[in-house]
Chains A and B, each alone.
Chain A
Amino acid sequence: MILAALWRHRASYLFLLPTFLFLAVFNYLPALSGLYHAFTEWETGGTAHWIGLDNFRQMAGDEFLRLSIVNQVILLIANLIKTLVVPLIVAEMLFHLRSKRLQYALRTTLLIPMVVPGMVGVLLWGFIYDPNIGLLNNALTALGLKGLTRAWLGDWHTALPAVIGVGFPWISGLALLIYLAGLIAIPQDVLDSCAVDGASGWKRIWNVDLPLLRGQMRLLAALTIIGTLQDFGSLLVLTGGGPGLATHVPALHMYYEAFRFGHYGYASAIGFVLFLTILAFTVANMRFARSAVELG
């Protein structure tokens, strides 16, 4: 009887066939393969054979990996602050503008940085940090602060802060749009009742706007966490993890292990652990998220 039902709806299944063909080959298969190979020894040019938890034992003893985790935590916290706080402030500022035309104009111009490809932005900042002809050092010298100039990406004290500083003033276009949409969606009567109650300015922001934006903040937090844990392209291009291990992160370690040293099995194990971490954060995020928002 099931077969009859399937046959009756064969149009639907046929419509979905191309989709699932693609997904099976390019998404499910690699995902399962990645999970499987984390438990194998698999070197480039060789075949994979099962070794159980050995890769994970090796990870526990990998000193370089341990140090990279410290950097990752720092970067994660910094990125969360960058994404959650700054665009929120700017969105509030825009929201409070009287003139809708001005609001629209400013919002659009603030989105201009999105037009620049991500990698170009990173390279530009590498250029800004150049010790010789970079904008930062030249600006400091022009302001009479020559003593503050240094090799920002070369000095191990300043390398990680410099990486965090990329993108100043950190007004992420995506976050800005999301926050602004959230603010505009606040029902007018809520705002009116606040005005009547005399709760204006900071009080309103703290007590009304922020709770109502919780959904957006959670979405952005989730995106930031997932993005930060996975992103190593910019680090690869800016510093390569250096100097030493000052800007090394687990995802970069995984890339080196796989594509420079040929240890695909070990790298898969690192990827597996990263995946578990991301999964844990995502689940935690979903638990606390509520799409319906109570208006108190």
Chain B
Amino acid sequence: MIMQTRKKKRNDPVPPLGRLFALLTFLFIIVLVGGDGNLRAQSPASGKAHIVLSTVSANYREGLMQLAQEYERLHPGVSVTVQIQPVNGYETWLRTQIESKSDAAPDIYNINYTNGYYERGLLVNLTPFISAQNPYTGKPWRDNLDAQFLEKYKSGGDVATIPLDFIEVAFFYNKGLFARLGLQPPHTWEEMLATAQKVKAAGYIPFAVPGDTDSYWSGAVGWIFRFFTDAYMRDAVPQVMARPGDWDYDPRKNADFHLNGNDPYNDATVVVNPERLLLAVRDRQFRMDSPRFREAYRKIAEFAQYWQPGFNGTSANSAYQLFLTQKAAMMINTSTTIATLARDMDDLYPQDRFDWDLFPIPPMTQSAFHIPPFRGVGGAGVVFGIVKKSDEQTQRTVDFLMYLTTPHATQTLVAQAVRARQPINGPMLIPGAQLPEQMARRFSAFEHRGFEKLSFRGLADEQESVWKWTVWAQRYLDGRISVDDCLAHYQQVMEEAVPRVARQMNYDLDPRTKDPPKP
């Protein structure tokens, strides 16, 4: 208790405002140190002919740099810069550079990191150039590009991106173990299950499959459900494809469509109207508790018997390790894993190494619904697009891109990546490129798979429905609930998700009107 009996003039109780100010300045500095606040002046544009390729595909660094140098030698007046960016922050950086039309913006980049840029007019329409002659091959550019993928990645009918490679899934198997057990890679799904049974009898885990929540969405179990439901729902495509009067109806694609189970690319160009799909779920035209889904889910459960115990909590790494340590005979994995597996195999002690190979997802031959062979669930890996700048710059950049998509360039990219022990996404999409023989053989398991069209996990990509479906599917595959219980709840999850998705995507659920995306 302080008795302030004496008050002197000098007894100034107020801390000098200066100190308070200092404190606040200090706090302000904290904020600035951490903050994004910056002072910058606009940099003047440089005049030299310059092409900038900015990519996150660090595995192709050496190849791209060599190609850049080769191109500069061919065109002395042009300089090419290859920038390898880390994935984190790439999207933000791209957006700030391109949207501000800064001159430091790249010319070529992985356009899958910026959604909607072509629609907003920020990227070059490559369609006219596709028919133009590629000076480095002497033929039209489209002749050394993969037609199916080019078509698939079109934006509203225009070519906006050139895919260079793609990623797909297949089964990896332990060749040494198979040989010891007298087994051959299977050609049908039923054969595969019989093989699995023999593996199990010999005391090994037939399949190493990760089943944690991530896996149901973007990993192995997700792929399995996708190619299964895609196969079972192929007949349903006509029900939800765009019809005359719909905003996305394209007579060239949808008018003459006939189902053909033998052609995996049969419906590749058919346009499915997303609102029709939602309506089909809402109005119970598509039912998750239908006989088709029932058989599909039961087949998956039958397959799951041969997965390692506790798969529903196993991560992708853990499953991969089971295969690498020869505890599991097979695994389902992406083409990117080939390089990883080769590298890891080299790192093992010689006595722990083993011979391995791949087989494609085998078709199912015994089904009440005669389902067609399973199709691919992959997509393009590296997709390059060109930023719209001046016409002159566009010409220059297109020329460079044409150079990058020659068979020679592809071989360079692959060879350099292999030499640098870098991973490769998967098969390259440039026909005519010669790959090392073993690689080409392994990649063949991924090719000509087609693309999935109607596959179901959650509703569209809505995360809440995906998670809820995951919980029910996990319980079902664990054997804790019946297939009917699972599917009944699944149906409920999907129906409840329809209004949420409609709200998220700003759909009015009228297929004839195009609904602008939410700002």
Interface residues of A in 5-53 (CB under 8 A from B): 10-11, 14-15, 17-18, 43, 45
B309-339 vs A, CB cutoff 8 Å, 1 = contact: the mask equals: 1111110001001100101000000000000
A260 part of interface (Cβ distance < 8 Å): yes
**Is A15's CB under 8 angstroms from B15's CB?**
yes
**Is A260's CB under 8 angstroms from B478's CB?**
no
**Is A150's CB under 8 angstroms from B322's CB?**
no
**Is A11's CB under 8 angstroms from B14's CB?**
yes
Interface residues of B in 194-230 (CB under 8 A from A): 211-214
**Is B312's CB under 8 angstroms from A45's CB?**
no
**Is A260's CB under 8 angstroms from B211's CB?**
no
Q: Which of B70-78, B179-187, B433-441, B467-475 is the contact stretch?
A: B467-475
A154 part of interface (Cβ distance < 8 Å): yes
Interfacial chain B residues near A261, Cβ < 8 Å: 463-464, 467
Interfacial chain A residues near B327, Cβ < 8 Å: 132
Interfacial chain A residues near B211, Cβ < 8 Å: 154, 243
Name B's interface SS: helix
Q: In the complex, what distance in Å separates the CA atom of A240 from the CA atom of B14?
A: 54
Among A18, A133, A153, point to the contact of B313 (Cβ < 8 A).
Answer: A153
Q: In the complex, what distance in Å separates the CA atom of A191 from the CA atom of B460?
A: 71
**Is B312's CB under 8 angstroms from A154's CB?**
yes
B308 part of interface (Cβ distance < 8 Å): yes
**Is A239's CB under 8 angstroms from B313's CB?**
yes
| Contact A154/B310 with A64-B468, A132-B322 known, Cβ cut-off 8 Å | yes
Query: Count of chain B residues with Cβ under 8 Å from any Cβ of A?
Result: 34
**Is A242's CB under 8 angstroms from B312's CB?**
yes
Smallest CB separation, A17 vs chain B (Å) = 8
**Is B463's CB under 8 angstroms from A260's CB?**
yes
Among B13, B311, B318, point to the contact of A130 (Cβ < 8 A).
Answer: B318
**Is A155's CB under 8 angstroms from B471's CB?**
no
B467-490 vs A, CB cutoff 8 Å, 1 = contact: the mask equals: 110010011001010000000000
Interface residues of A in 178-228 (CB under 8 A from B): none
B104 part of interface (Cβ distance < 8 Å): no
Q: In the complex, what distance in Å separates the CA atom of A278 from the CA atom of B244?
A: 59
| A: interface residue count bin | 20 to 34
Nearest B residue to A134 via CB reads B318
Interfacial chain A residues near B313, Cβ < 8 Å: 151, 153-156, 159, 239, 242-243
Q: In the complex, what distance in Å separates the CA atom of A97 from the CA atom of B518?
A: 70
A241 part of interface (Cβ distance < 8 Å): yes
Q: In the complex, what distance in Å separates the CA atom of A64 from the CA atom of B327?
A: 35
B20 part of interface (Cβ distance < 8 Å): yes
Q: In the complex, what distance in Å separates the CA atom of A280 from the CA atom of B15?
A: 42
Q: In the complex, what distance in Å separates the CA atom of A150 from the CA atom of B14?
A: 69
B23 part of interface (Cβ distance < 8 Å): yes
**Is B312's CB under 8 angstroms from A10's CB?**
no
Smallest CB separation, A11 vs chain B (Å) = 4
Nearest B residue to A12 via CB reads B13
Interfacial chain A residues near B474, Cβ < 8 Å: 242-244
A122-156 vs B, CB cutoff 8 Å, 1 = contact: the mask equals: 00000000111100000000000000001111111
A245 part of interface (Cβ distance < 8 Å): yes
Q: In the complex, what distance in Å separates the CA atom of A241 from the CA atom of B212?
A: 10
Among A15, A45, A133, A240, point to the contact of B321 (Cβ < 8 A).
Answer: A133
Interface residues of A in 233-250 (CB under 8 A from B): 239-245
| Contact A14/B310 with A154-B211, A261-B463, A261-B464 known, Cβ cut-off 8 Å | no
Interfacial chain B residues near A64, Cβ < 8 Å: 468, 471
A153-172 vs B, CB cutoff 8 Å, 1 = contact: the mask equals: 11110010000000000000
A256 part of interface (Cβ distance < 8 Å): yes
Smallest CB separation, B14 vs chain A (Å) = 6
Interfacial chain B residues near A153, Cβ < 8 Å: 310, 313
**Is A10's CB under 8 angstroms from B478's CB?**
no
**Is A11's CB under 8 angstroms from B325's CB?**
no
Nearest B residue to A261 via CB reads B464
Among B214, B309, B318, B480, point to the contact of A150 (Cβ < 8 A).
Answer: B309
Smallest CB separation, A252 vs chain B (Å) = 11
Q: In the complex, what distance in Å separates the CA atom of A159 from the CA atom of B310?
A: 10
Smallest CB separation, A204 vs chain B (Å) = 44
Q: Apart from A18-B23, A64-B468, A154-B211, list 15 A-B contacts with CB within 8 A.
A: A10-B13, A10-B14, A11-B15, A17-B20, A45-B518, A64-B471, A131-B314, A155-B313, A239-B313, A240-B214, A242-B474, A243-B312, A243-B478, A260-B463, A263-B464
The 3 A-B pairs with the shortest beta carbon distances in the complex, nearest first, are A151-B310, A154-B313, A154-B310
Q: What are 26 of the A-B contact pairs (CB < 8 Å)?
A: A10-B13, A14-B14, A17-B20, A18-B27, A64-B471, A130-B318, A132-B325, A150-B309, A151-B309, A153-B310, A154-B211, A154-B311, A154-B313, A154-B314, A155-B310, A156-B313, A156-B478, A241-B213, A242-B212, A243-B474, A244-B474, A244-B478, A256-B467, A260-B463, A260-B467, A263-B464
Which of A's residues lie within 8 Å of B, judged by CB?
10-11, 14-15, 17-18, 43, 45, 64, 130-133, 150-156, 159, 239-245, 256, 260-261, 263
